[in-house]
Structure 1
Amino acid sequence: MSIMQLNGGSVIAMVGKDCVAIASDLRLGNQALLVASNFEKVFPIHDRLFVGLPGLASDVFTLHEALRFRVNMYRMKEEREIGPETFCHMVSSTLYEKRFGPYFIEPVIAGLPPVTELNPNPKPFIACTDLIGCITTPKDFCVAGTASEKLFGVAEGLWEADLEPEDLFETISQTLLNALDRDALSGWGAVVHVITQTEVTTRYLKSRMD
């Protein structure tokens, strides 16, 4: 068994029209043994940027604190919030520093760049990395965790370009719930964050509890 599958859990991010969504299940397990059903794997970096951390549970806490420290230092030095692309490279370099004894985490990043005079219509940003920080930036969706294969299959069939926030929520929710039904190491509820330029909508979903 891979150490990446010890605690289970899955994360997915999707791009919509001027919005982005990121979702995860809430299960924490020890292989097939359920430990908790309220284990958050998606964390806010600021109002328009979230990171999902599926993988080994102890490394989830360690990496989240390391990233929180670096983001706070960036905020103090630059006197502004970090952008999604910059944060993605920060995550990558943090993971690559530990490449000889890596964090067993495959981060998923989702966010919206700020509206500026130079960039009045910023495009939604999603990215994912492997456990030593190799970045992938798809234009539609990215997945990580034990249900990755199932998430890919369902998302390929359901995702469409330029989805409105409510349609994006429905699409990512159906994708995640259908994939969780087919993966024994993920599930026991889910949480979905839909990010727009004006607000973040967070909803908790009920799923199969077996």
Structure 2
Amino acid sequence: MSVSPRPPPPRSPGFLPRPGSRIPYGFAPCPSQIFEYNGSAVVAMVGKNCFAIASDRRLGVQLQTIATDFQRVFKIHDKLYIGLSGLATDAQTLYQRLVFRHKLYQLREERDMKPETFASLVSALLYEKRFGPYFCQPVIAGLGDDDVPFICTMDFIGAKELAKDFVVSGTASESLYGACESMYKPNMEPDELFETISQALSSSVDRDCLSGWGGYVLIVTPTEVREHVIKTRMD
């Protein structure tokens, strides 16, 4: 009497087995779940000869909160900043590589990198690792020639998306899009820009259980950089 082989267990919708591995079904997270593992919310917005970039402060492991002072917005130089949403460990590794590449550029060119050049560098760096990618979605904001603000975002393999109003990324991106579209106005002064981006961030993270616990806002003008820590709901 022949016995038919036992069929494999059904696949969980969000998990895929790695080809050739001994990992059982249900233990290899697909990329969409990797981006949601730590939770994040990053937004950049353009004003009149200025820009703002903001992020939430929560670091979590799925629904468990680990820290409430996590940094997602990093300085490249006085007029250029990058926000990194996605997997927290990859974000910190990517930032260290970007600082290294920017310092080499400064030594060779004896000047700071323009925002457009830096965006191309980040895009090339992500695309170079496309077969084993950094699970990050960068938001780049800076002041270019004649203090014209520049913002862009890209996916985890470096496909750029340029904008002249605002860009968002992270697990709260859907609610951020709605809030920014309803609140944004062109040519805002720095004070109004701070109020707008703060309200958009706080109202958006209230609708996303994977991000929140306060916000960090940077307002960058040709003459100064203002940092603000805002309070949001803590539940």
TM-score between both structures, scaled by the size of structure 2:
0.86
Distance, in Å, in 2 between the alignment partners of 1:5 and 1:90 is: 25
Output the amino acid matched with 2:218: H
Kindly report the root-mean-square deviation, in angstroms, between the aligned alpha carbons of the 2 structures.
Answer: 0.7
Match of residue 118, structure 2, among 68, 87, 100: 87
Q: Tell me the CA shift for residue 122 of structure 1.
A: 3.6
Output the amino acid matched with 1:140: D
The residue that corresponds to 2:128 in the other structure is 97
Q: Deviations over 1:80-131 (max 9, x none)?
A: 01110000001000100100011000000001014xxxxxx34210000100
Give the 3-state SS of the residue equivalent to 2:228 in structure 1.
strand
Give the 3-state SS of the residue equivalent to 1:53 in structure 2.
strand
Q: Tell me the CA shift for residue 42 of structure 1.
A: 0.3
The residue that corresponds to 2:189 in the other structure is 164
Output the amino acid matched with 1:11: V
Q: Tell me the CA shift for residue 61 of structure 1.
A: 1.1
The residue that corresponds to 1:136 in the other structure is 161
The residue that corresponds to 2:71 in the other structure is 40
Output the amino acid matched with 2:172: A
For these two proteins, the number of residue pairs brought into alignment is 204
Does residue 61 of structure 2 align to residue 30 of structure 1?
yes
Output the amino acid matched with 1:58: T
The residue that corresponds to 1:118 in the other structure is none
Q: Pairwise mapping of residues 118-197 of structure 1 onto structure 2 (< 5 A)?
A: 121-197=146-222
The residue that corresponds to 2:18 in the other structure is none
Instruction: Show structure 2 runs of 5+ residues with no match.
Output: 1-13, 15-32
Distance, in Å, in 1 between the alignment partners of 2:103 and 2:135 is: 23
The residue that corresponds to 2:37 in the other structure is 6
Give the 3-state SS of the residue equivalent to 1:184 in structure 2.
coil
Output the amino acid matched with 1:145: G
The residue that corresponds to 2:227 in the other structure is 202
Give the 3-state SS of the residue equivalent to 1:107 in structure 2.
strand
Give the 3-state SS of the residue equivalent to 1:40 in structure 2.
coil
Output the amino acid matched with 2:215: A
Output the amino acid matched with 1:80: R
Distance, in Å, in 2 between the alignment partners of 1:61 and 1:150 is: 25
Output the amino acid matched with 1:55: G
**Identity within the alignment, %:** 53
Does residue 43 of structure 2 align to residue 18 of structure 1?
no
Distance, in Å, in 1 between the alignment partners of 2:58 and 2:91 is: 13
Q: Deviations over 1:7-62 (max 9, x none)?
A: 00110000000000000000000000000001000000000100000110110111
Instruction: Indicate if the aligned counterparts of 2:147 and 2:222 stay in contact, CA closer than 8 A.
Output: no
Instruction: Show structure 1 runs of 5+ residues with no match.
Output: 115-120
Q: Deviations over 1:54-74 (max 9, x none)?
A: 110110111010101000000
Output the amino acid matched with 1:27: R
The residue that corresponds to 1:67 in the other structure is 98
Higher relative CO (Cα under 8 Å, sequence separation at least 6) belongs to: 1
